[in-house]
Copies of this chain bind each other. A is one copy, B any other.
Amino acid sequence: MPEDSNPILRWQRQDLPPTLSQRFEFDSYAETRRFLDGVAKLAEAAQHYPNLSFGKTYVSVTLDADGKKLTPDIVALAQKIDALATKAG
């Protein structure tokens, strides 16, 4: 995949403490719920629980690493969440 289409590039990276975050917007509450349920399944599979903020038509996801370095597993989880949003939106 060419680098500029790599979905992970859309996430905001923060360094102290290391986090990846992204906001997703949806057209309806039903889509928002579908996305949230999908994120919950991914989180349980990865045993890594993001912090989520959401309202009727948006979800903000923040992945952290308990103050340690972001691992490839966390980046992979972000990419899976992106893929989910592409399907839901």
Contacts and interface: CB of A to CB of B under 8 A. Distances in A.
Interface of A: 29, 33, 40, 44, 49-56
Q: Specify how many copies of this chain sit in the oligomer.
A: 2
Contact of A40 (B33, B49, B53): B33
A53 B86 CA distance: 22
A33 B44 CA distance: 11
Given A51-B54, A52-B52, A53-B54, 12 more contacts: A29-B44, A29-B49, A33-B40, A49-B55, A49-B56, A50-B55, A51-B53, A51-B55, A52-B53, A52-B54, A52-B55, A53-B53
Contacts of A52: 52-55
A85 B52 CA distance: 19
